[in-house]
A and B are shown apart, each in its own frame.
Chain A
Amino acid sequence: MKLCITSTGTSLDSNVDPRFGRCPYFIIYDTDSGTFESIENASRQAMGGAGIQAGQFIASKEVVAVITGNFGPNAFRVLQTAKIKMYSGISGTVREAIEKYKSGQLTETSSPDVESHHGMGRNS
């Protein structure tokens, strides 16, 4: 079973990035083998629709859940359609987030957390 965690860096000790569509990296973690790969988020620099593009990409990766800080409405709709579970409001390291997921401490998100264009700050 594969999980996707939005990350500020390429390792399990990197912090969870608070943005879904515009995070720098996705960490795809395989709970069966305990292995992971980090993928640079190509949608990060999109002019618009970053969450939509990132959502489609993650759906193609056959993950069962996405763990991040916030989901915007567009990304939420795409992931919901793809029947991927969403967990938001998560901070700390990627490793901690995975542990929390495994021990059942995370609650599924039922609605978008932020408005469109949330992650488009100047320095993001």
Chain B
Amino acid sequence: MIISVASGKGGTGKTTVAVCMALAAEQCQFIDYDVEAPNADIFLKPEIKNIKKVTIKQPYFLTETGKSFSKCAEFCHYNALAVISSEVMFYPELCHGCGGCILVGPEGAVREKDVEVGEVTKGFTGPGIDFLKGNLTPGSMRTTTVQNDLEKMIKKKDLVIIDSPPGNSCSMVMSVKNSDYCVLVTEPTPYGFNDLVISMEVLDMLKISYGVIINRDGIGDSNVEDYCRGKNIKLLIKIPNDVEIAKCYSKGGTLLDYDVSYKAKFQNILKEIEGLCSKKP
């Protein structure tokens, strides 16, 4: 069973919830899909086993051949290449590595090389949690390429908990698309509510079931709760707005460190989700 933890608005407590779920489950694979800013390792403190580079193919142009590369520039949909007479200007940050320039360019004069865009780190927390995270190289835009490498390492037979990146764009879709269930974490504020509804629209389109966790309960208004009631959306738990939780978090502590009763609470949530998923055809 794959459970993703997502949230349209940033900073609502995705990692707090995902980490808490993993610790409550005791046996699972935990994957930090927020490759632009992975931080679950601060709380899960995994022992690192190995780090693997993530690379893409990018072209380079043998200008010394004296051949014309203008066809390559014409072809490039991403405008990663400009050719002015014999000058070839390549903009690697715009290149998607599609290889089209090799096909349309002068034969043998466009070659490919591996370019590093990130890395995937494997480790474990205690005996039961397999830890995995992706890191995007600063300056690179290949977020989903790194996530693709994480996807290949999913162990579908186990319980898998995915900590998604914030927002509702490509990188979020990548992290939720294989889930059996998505936990949406929000805060009861107009911003939280607005972005929560967008996340729900994405999940509806992907036909993924979801439930909601309200974090920092007590601030804002009742719009999130009223909306969930009205639409019959499962409200899994409310976590209070408590400065002690924040203090604990700031020292790398988890919800379980703050109050051990959250372990049982999250074990119940996991059981509930399992029940909901097994009912599906």
Contact = CB atoms under 8 A, between A and B. Distances in A.
B153 interface: no
B256 interface: no
Contacts of A81: 82, 84, 87, 89
A46 B79 contact: yes
Contact of B82 (A46, A48, A56): A56
Interface residues of B, number: 12
Given A59-B84, A78-B84, A49 B89 contact: no
Contact of A82 (B78, B80, B84): B84
Nearest to A56: B82
A78 B78 contact: no
B91 interface: yes
B23 interface: no
B94 A49 contact: yes
B84 A49 contact: no
Interface string B69-80: 000010000111
A55 interface: yes
A50 interface: yes
Nearest to B86: A81
A74 interface: yes
A46 B77 CA distance: 9
Interface string A26-57: 00000000000000000100111110110110
B83 interface: yes
A50 to B, nearest CB: 7
A52 to B, nearest CB: 5
A77 interface: yes
Interface of B: 73, 78-84, 87, 89, 91, 94
A62 to B, nearest CB: 12
Contacts of A55: 82
Contacts of B79: 43, 46, 48-50, 52-53
19 contacts: A43-B79, A48-B78, A48-B79, A48-B94, A49-B78, A49-B80, A49-B94, A52-B79, A52-B80, A52-B94, A53-B79, A55-B82, A56-B83, A56-B84, A59-B84, A77-B89, A78-B84, A78-B89, A81-B87
Question: Which 5 A-B residue pairings sit nearest by Cβ, starting from the closest?
Answer: A49-B79, A53-B79, A82-B84, A52-B79, A81-B84
B94 A78 contact: no
A14 to B, nearest CB: 26
Interface in A48-74: 48-50, 52-53, 55-56, 59, 74
Contacts of B81: 52
Contacts of A49: 78-80, 91, 94
A43 B78 CA distance: 11
A49 B78 CA distance: 7
